[in-house]
């Protein structure tokens, strides 16, 4: 990632220092190991998805005006928005060039499709959150595009890089999609206080993001309750006590249990897809990784 521009070197060093769990490259390596052989292409694939993911996070922090990321200051907080947008573009182009220069065109196709779907998913969410008229169907479409697409791409890239045939690559993409949906549902549950340790609650409600627990609760509410809760989300989403009222309403209506059941269904369906692969160290680790992500408490 070296560059002749000092400012860029400084920022990429900072990003490397503040790196996250790197779950996505792990999906690439474990999928490759399970489906075939981990090779040079796998390493490039893992770099590509991590660069893309980092680029997305840097842009996300600009659009959300976040000042922190993973316990560090965000790039936009330290260097202003202008720099952050450009750094995001730069990281993305470096990832693409790595693949282009090595002729990894199948990887490129998988990843570019993911970029398109992710930006579409975010925009769909913005469009819908204005109206609050979101159905379960739209919710699943949003989280599929927004989160699941990248996990799906990781598993597909891993399989493709290992020399697996097209049917296996497609199966791994489907596996990753289901896992990604389960992850996002898990994340959305945290907003309603399901984590053991104290994560902040009600952030999604504050931003008028309609997630599955609330969607389910509203669908099963009386017309009067529904009207009242939508009014709170729409007009009182800056008041802590009103947000707490919405959370309490969702809990009482069984929205949490329903959502947990749906998550478990996706989790189980995904795991069953791995039955066709022979037992291996990589398969066991992949299953452990997924289990960790689904059962994590923070």
> Which residue ranges make up the site for a second copy (CB under 8 A)?
3-8, 59, 62-64, 81-83, 85-87, 89-90, 92-94, 96-97, 100-101, 103, 105, 108-109, 112-113, 115-116, 118-120, 122-124, 126-127
- The span from the CA of 178 to the CA of 181, in Å, is 5
Asked if 205 and 246 touch (Cβ cutoff 8 Å), the reply is: yes
- The span from the CA of 163 to the CA of 109, in Å, is 16
Give the helix/strand (H/E) hosting 72. strand 72-73
Nearer to a second copy, 7 or 16 (CB): 7
Minimum Å gap between C-beta 285 and a second copy is 31
Minimum Å gap between C-beta 94 and a second copy is 6
Minimum Å gap between C-beta 257 and a second copy is 32
Nearer to a second copy, 81 or 285 (CB): 81
Minimum Å gap between C-beta 127 and a second copy is 4
Minimum Å gap between C-beta 261 and a second copy is 28
Alpha-carbon 190 to chain mean position: 14
Minimum Å gap between C-beta 89 and a second copy is 4
- Cα dihedral 131→136→142→147 (10° resolution): 140
Nearer to a second copy, 79 or 190 (CB): 79
Minimum Å gap between C-beta 90 and a second copy is 4
Nearer to a second copy, 69 or 282 (CB): 69
Ramachandran area for residue 198 (φ above 0: left; ψ -120 to 50: alpha; else beta): beta
DSSP 8-state code for residue 205: H
Q: Strand, coil or helix: what is 278?
A: coil
- The span from the CA of 187 to the CA of 210, in Å, is 13
Nearer to a second copy, 60 or 174 (CB): 60
Nearer to a second copy, 94 or 236 (CB): 94
Within the chain, residue ranges assigned H as helices are: 6-17, 23-35, 40-64, 75-101, 105-129, 136-143, 149-161, 166-190, 203-206, 212-219, 223-235, 240-252, 255-273, 281-295
Nearer to a second copy, 145 or 168 (CB): 145
């Amino acid at each position: 990632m070296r560059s002749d521009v000092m400012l860029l070197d400084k920022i990429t060093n900072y990003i490397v220092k503040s790196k996250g769990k790197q779950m996505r490259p792990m999906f690439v390596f474990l999928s490759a190991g399970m489906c075939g052989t981990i090779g040079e292409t796998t390493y490039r694939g893992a770099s590509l998805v991590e660069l893309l993911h980092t680029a997305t996070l840097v842009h996300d922090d600009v659009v959300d005006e976040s000042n922190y990321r993973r316990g560090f200051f965000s790039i936009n907080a330290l260097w202003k928005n202008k720099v952050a947008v450009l750094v995001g573009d730069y990281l993305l182009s470096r990832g693409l060039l790595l693949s282009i220069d090595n002729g990894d065109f199948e990887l490129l196709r998988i990843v570019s499709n993911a970029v398109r779907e992710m930006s579409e998913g975010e925009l769909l969410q913005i469009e819908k959150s204005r109206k609050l008229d979101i159905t379960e169907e739209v919710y699943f479409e949003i989280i599929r595009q927004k989160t699941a697409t990248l996990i799906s791409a990781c598993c597909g890239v891993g399989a493709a890089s290992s020399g697996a045939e097209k049917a296996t690559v497609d199966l791994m993409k489907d596996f990753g999609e289901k896992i990604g949906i389960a992850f996002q549902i898990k994340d959305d549950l945290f907003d309603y206080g399901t984590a053991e340790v104290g994560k902040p609650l009600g952030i999604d409600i504050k931003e008028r993001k309609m997630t599955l627990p609330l969607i389910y609760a509203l669908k099963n509410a009386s017309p009067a309750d529904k009207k009242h809760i939508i009014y709170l989300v729409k007009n009182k989403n800056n008041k802590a006590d009103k947000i707490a009222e919405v959370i309490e309403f969702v809990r009482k209506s069984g929205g949490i249990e329903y959502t947990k059941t749906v998550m478990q269904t996706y989790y189980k369906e995904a795991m069953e897809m791995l039955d066709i692969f022979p037992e291996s160290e990589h398969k066991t680790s992949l299953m452990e990784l997924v289990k960790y992500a689904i059962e994590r408490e923070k």
